[in-house]
Amino acid sequence: MKILKIIMLIFGLLCVAMGILWIGQGLNIIRWPAESFMIGVPQWSWNGSALALFGAGLIWFARRK
């Protein structure tokens, strides 16, 4: 079961990082990559928020005893 918790923790961290990137692109704060279709589209900030919350939930679940 320890390996499953490690996998969930890594996946959760990746989800949070990707969610923050999507939030930044959707709010036109992060303009990388320059040709991304997500830049300046507010829907992606909502999608990123949901993904980051999901990742935070995975992290919490993996870290609990």
- CA dist 11 and 15 (Å) reads 6
Q: Tell me, what's the pLDDT at 1?
A: 86
For 64, half-sphere exposure in the C-beta direction (CA atoms, 13 angstrom radius) is 5
DSSP 8-64: HHHHHHHHHHHHHHHHHHHTTS---STT-TTTT-HHHHHHHHHHHHHHHHHHHHHH-
Chain segment 18-51, per-residue pLDDT in tens: 999 999 999 999 999 999 999 999 999 999 999 9
Residue 65 pLDDT level (bands cut at 50, 70, 90)? confident
Q: In this structure, are residues 12 and 62 in contact, taking their beta carbons and an 8 Å threshold? A: yes
